[in-house]
């Protein structure tokens, strides 16, 4: 397969798809809408997962595991939630195959093995979890429950794209139970902060924290908080959500607790999740026409060393020198790969690791060793320089930190440049068509207007930013009075 990518200018969508496939992050599978996460992509996911898991545990959460299946009667118990997901459910109806009598060597579904009650493959686990919590919660002493689950979920989407929207995806879902509304709201906000911190600090992607309009809320939530990120094509991407569920699920599953005064009340709930979709955000926020650009903190490979040699003798010398550098880098906890594979030339390798977005490349030849230097190349800026071997590991360590910071700064500048306040409908339409990005505009607060704007421009209200400035103005579409601006954008 050619490693050449479609450029962003030619076809942004094709560029994205090329990049995911050719960099070895993921592959299509034989199952409609399901992807294979390849080792390089999975190593990235592991780094993201491990850091998030650490942050969840630091905020008092523990992991558990609940069934993949939700019996239909439980699934439909919280009606809004059920309604929201009903149209995209994979449903298990049978539990056995048998030999097909009309088709030698083939199997068929055994009609005698029909389930009495159909099982839904979890699109999200509130139903199965709250049905379980019912058995765990009697008293205020049993609260709070602060549980997270790493799992696969299935949503039968009609139009899928690698990482961004797949029928099966990997995610984590936190499901917490609390004695008071205030505690639950605090938890919802705490986890939004954890997500924002993770995406900004580790993925180097700035986000806007906000709340969704009622229209865009999670099915079954009282309030949905979100973080929204801006991609290079000017479209927004919802990077994570944290839901205050009120007592909706407690009521649907009859989960009550007795407080210190022995009074019974329904339990308060939150849920929150991020998924492999974040990898899509990472790709589209940072990469260029030559390939991925990985933020050092989560890059599967932070430094690659490529030897440049002619003949076996120089190879031995370079291998030995390289091993010394590797040891020094590893001692600082740096993830380093030495690629001395004989099957490909240095130039091919340079292009390959550029495609894979490895933050720092070190090339090492005999002449470099004579001069006590290496050739150091940064993936993000493509700068190349000769660097002394003295103190190399410490230099590289600092360079990785600098790259992380500069990638973030660059993304912040892009987001700022692509956030525009706007007060006229014509300009609003023009901005969305020509410049893209977030458009900050007044809205009259009705679902009807929100829907009309979406129909006419394909832009949705991404969020009402937290701590939003309150100012009076006129709705961008209807001219009706408004008390604040909200963020519109076309979105993934």
Q: Can residue 159 be called a binding residue for its own copies (CB under 8 A)? A: no
Q: What are the tokens at 479?
A: 């001219």
Sites for its own copies among residues 12-31 (CB under 8 A):
27, 29-31
Alpha carbons 236 and 229: distance in angstroms, whole number: 6
DSSP 110-144: -GGGEEEEEEEEPSS-HHHHHHHHHHH-SBGGG--
Q: Can residue 480 be called a binding residue for its own copies (CB under 8 A)? A: no
Q: Can residue 96 be called a binding residue for its own copies (CB under 8 A)? A: yes
Q: How far is the CB of 385 from its own copies (least distance, A)?
A: 32
Alpha carbons 5 and 86: distance in angstroms, whole number: 38
Q: Can residue 86 be called a binding residue for its own copies (CB under 8 A)? A: yes
Alpha carbons 59 and 52: distance in angstroms, whole number: 11
Q: How far is the CB of 143 from its own copies (least distance, A)?
A: 12
41, 21 in Cβ contact below 8 A? no
Say which residue the tokens 């809004």 belong to: 80
Q: Can residue 75 be called a binding residue for its own copies (CB under 8 A)? A: yes
Q: How far is the CB of 233 from its own copies (least distance, A)?
A: 27
The beta-strand segments (E) located in 231-288 are: 236-246, 256-258, 264-266, 268-275
Q: How far is the CB of 20 from its own copies (least distance, A)?
A: 14
Residue choice 17, 152, 468, 484 for contact with its own copies (CB under 8 A)? 152
Residues 6+ positions from 374 with CB-CB distance below 8 Å: 325, 362, 363, 364, 368, 386, 387, 389, 392
Contacts with its own copies, 109-148, as mask; x by CB under 8 A: x--------xxxx------x--xx--xx----x-----x-
Residue choice 10, 13, 95, 391 for contact with its own copies (CB under 8 A)? 95
Sites for its own copies among residues 160-189 (CB under 8 A):
168, 170
Q: How far is the CB of 76 from its own copies (least distance, A)?
A: 5
Sites for its own copies among residues 252-291 (CB under 8 A):
none
Q: Can residue 467 be called a binding residue for its own copies (CB under 8 A)? A: no
Nearer to its own copies, 92 or 394 (CB): 92
Size of the site for its own copies (CB under 8 A): 67
Alpha carbons 492 and 165: distance in angstroms, whole number: 9
Q: What are the tokens at 50?
A: 């491990």
Sites for its own copies among residues 302-361 (CB under 8 A):
343
Nearer to its own copies, 29 or 290 (CB): 29
Number of Cβ within a 10 Å radius of residue 479: 12
Instruction: Map residue 13 onto helix, strand or coil.
Output: helix
Q: Which residues bind to its own copies, rule: CB under 8 A?
A: 27, 29-31, 34-39, 41-43, 45-46, 62-72, 74-76, 79, 82, 86-99, 105-107, 109, 118-121, 128, 131-132, 135-136, 141, 147, 151-152, 154, 156, 168, 170, 343
């Amino acid at each position: 397969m050619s490693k050449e990518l479609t450029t962003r200018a030619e076809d942004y969508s094709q560029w994205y798809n090329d990049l995911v496939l050719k960099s070895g992050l993921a592959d299509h599978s034989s199952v409609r809408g399901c992807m294979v996460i390849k080792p390089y992509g999975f190593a990235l996911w592991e780094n993201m997962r491990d850091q998030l898991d650490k942050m969840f545990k630091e905020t008092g959460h523990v992991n558990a595991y609940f069934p993949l299946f939700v019996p239909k009667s439980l699934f439909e118990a919280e009606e809004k939630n059920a309604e929201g997901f009903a149209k995209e459910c994979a449903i298990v109806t049978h539990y056995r195959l048998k030999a097909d009598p009309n088709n030698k060597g083939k199997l068929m579904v055994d009609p005698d093995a029909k389930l009495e009650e159909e099982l839904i493959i979890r699109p999200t686990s509130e139903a199965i979890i709250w049905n379980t919590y019912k058995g765990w919660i009697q008293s205020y002493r049993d609260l709070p429950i602060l549980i997270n689950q790493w799992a696969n979920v299935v949503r039968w989407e009609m139009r899928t794209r690698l990482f961004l929207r797949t029928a099966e995806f990997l995610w984590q879902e936190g499901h917490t139970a609390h004695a008071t509304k205030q505690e639950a709201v605090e938890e919802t906000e705490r986890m939004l902060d954890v997500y924002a911190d993770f995406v900004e600090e580790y993925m180097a992607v700035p986000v806007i924290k906000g709340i969704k309009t009622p229209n865009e809320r999670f099915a079954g939530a009282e309030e949905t908080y979100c973080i929204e990120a801006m991609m290079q094509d000017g479209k927004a991407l919802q990077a994570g959500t944290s839901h205050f569920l009120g007592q909706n699920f407690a009521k649907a599953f009859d989960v009550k607790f007795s407080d210190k005064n022995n009074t019974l009340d329904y339990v308060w709930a939150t849920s929150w999740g991020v998924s492999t979709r974040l990898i899509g955000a990472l790709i589209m926020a940072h990469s260029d026409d030559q390939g991925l650009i990985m933020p050092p903190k989560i890059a599967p490979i932070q430094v690659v060393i490529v030897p440049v040699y002619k003949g076996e003798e120089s190879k031995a010398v370079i291998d030995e020198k390289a091993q010394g550098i590797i040891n020094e880098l590893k001692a600082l906890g740096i993830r380093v790969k030495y690629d001395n594979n004989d099957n490909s030339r240095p130039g091919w390798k340079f292009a390959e690791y550029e495609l894979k977005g490895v933050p720092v490349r070190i090339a090492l030849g005999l002449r470099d060793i004579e001069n006590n230097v290496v050739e150091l190349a940064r993936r993000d800026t493509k700068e190349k320089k000769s660097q002394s071997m003295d103190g190399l590991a410490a230099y590289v360590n600092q360079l990785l930190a600098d790259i992380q910071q500069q990638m973030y700064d660059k993304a912040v500048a892009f987001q700022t440049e692509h956030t525009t306040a706007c007060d006229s409908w014509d300009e609003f339409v023009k901005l969305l068509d020509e410049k893209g990005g977030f458009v900050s505009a007044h809205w009259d607060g009705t679902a009807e207007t929100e829907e009309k704007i979406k129909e006419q421009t394909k832009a949705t209200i991404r969020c009402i930013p937290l701590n939003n400035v309150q100012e009076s103005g006129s709705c961008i579409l209807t001219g009706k009075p408004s008390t604040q601006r909200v963020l519109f954008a076309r979105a993934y």
